[in-house]
């Protein structure tokens, strides 16, 4: 009779070594070569599991692997910024797969909606992060452009932390980011976004008419020709989130296409650390 109560009071999930290892095997970009970085990732992920509330919906049976996979990927962008960068929200809602949202794009309330087929996540300023597990799992397999919906949505969180609006300019920490100027950041991001948008348009112009861009073959062309998922062309906010995915998942690819942007991301995500 009190089963539901017992479930609700269940101990918060902890970071178990065997689950951690399984998550790293599934998401190889979480294997950090630096031992101190790896330990820090684990510590932040464990704190995330302890402090955040996870709400599986639509009958999803969220197990330790899922929660740990989300926590470890969420920890990656704040590895050197610290977990306080996420202290303006608590809840992570997890759908089994893609879910429907009825609003569009980034609205005046700073709500970012990713409802195109390939992306399934939603982030609200000060509110929950909403993710679809099937999309997260799919991101584990790709070898094309980075596809990491967890990193994507948490990049939006960092972006919205200053003023609640997603504009591609994340919150700067006065101590860690003293050398970063918001105007310079906006200029650099804008230039990269414009260049990328031009590359997408160029590809669309010369795209073979006989191939459906939505087919596997069509998608393979996009993946081969573009350094980032084409979705990055949507807006500066989406460009920042998609480029952040690439920064952590396919860094060489991002660095090759946008060296200045990558150097700026180094200064933001790895402040005070020498970059090799």
* Residues lying near Zn ion in the complex (CB under 5 A): 114, 238, 241
* Minimum CB–partner distance for residue 146 and Zn ion (Å): 13
* Minimum CB–partner distance for residue 126 and Zn ion (Å): 17
Closest CB to Zn ion: residue number: 114
Side-chain-facing half-sphere of 135: CA atoms under 13 Å = 25
Angle at which helices 35-51 and 64-75 cross, to 10°: 120
Residue nearer to Zn ion on the CB measure, 26 or 118: 118
- Pseudo-torsion of CA 66, 67, 70, 76, nearest 10°? -130
Residue nearer to Zn ion on the CB measure, 68 or 106: 106
* Minimum CB–partner distance for residue 69 and Zn ion (Å): 19
Q: Token match 């049976």: residue?
A: 61
Residue nearer to Zn ion on the CB measure, 30 or 242: 242
* Minimum CB–partner distance for residue 111 and Zn ion (Å): 11
* Minimum CB–partner distance for residue 49 and Zn ion (Å): 24
DSSP annotation string for 89-154: --EEEEESS-----S-SS-TT--EEE-STT--EEE-TTS-EEEEHHHHHHTTT--SS---HHHHHH
Residue nearer to Zn ion on the CB measure, 236 or 238: 238
CA distance 93 to 72: 16
CA distance 18 to 67: 14
Residue nearer to Zn ion on the CB measure, 43 or 190: 190
CA distance 81 to 85: 7
How, if at all, do strands 91-95 and 53-56 pair?
parallel
Residue nearer to Zn ion on the CB measure, 160 or 262: 160
Give strand pairing partners of 56. Answer: 94
């Amino acid at each position: 009779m009190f089963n539901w109560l017992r479930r609700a009071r269940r101990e918060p999930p902890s970071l178990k070594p065997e689950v951690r290892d399984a998550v790293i095997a599934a998401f190889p970009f979480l294997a950090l070569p630096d031992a101190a970085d790896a330990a820090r990732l684990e510590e932040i992920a464990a704190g995330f599991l302890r402090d955040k509330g996870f709400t599986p919906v639509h009958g999803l049976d969220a197990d330790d692997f899922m929660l740990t996979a989300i926590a470890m990927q969420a920890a990656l962008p704040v590895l050197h910024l610290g977990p306080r960068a996420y202290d303006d929200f608590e809840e992570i809602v997890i759908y089994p797969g893609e879910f429907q949202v009825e609003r569009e794009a980034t609205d005046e309330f700073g709500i970012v909606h990713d409802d195109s087929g390939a992306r399934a996540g939603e982030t609200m300023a000060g509110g929950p992060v909403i993710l679809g597990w099937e999309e997260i799992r799919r991101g584990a397999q790709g070898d094309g452009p980075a596809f990491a919906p967890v990193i994507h949505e948490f990049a939006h969180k960092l972006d919205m932390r200053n003023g609640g609006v997603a504009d591609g300019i994340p919150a700067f920490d006065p101590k860690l980011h003293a050398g970063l100027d918001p105007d310079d950041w906006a200029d650099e991001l804008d230039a990269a976004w414009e260049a990328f948008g031009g590359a997408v348009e160029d590809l669309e112009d010369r795209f073979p008419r006989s191939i459906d861009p939505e087919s596997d073959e069509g998608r393979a062309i996009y993946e081969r020709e573009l350094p980032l998922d084409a979705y990055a062309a949507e807006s500066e906010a989406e460009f920042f989130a998609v480029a952040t995915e690439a920064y952590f998942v396919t860094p060489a690819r991002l660095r090759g296409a946008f060296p200045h942007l990558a150097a700026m991301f180094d200064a933001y995500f790895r402040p005070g650390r020498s970059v090799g």
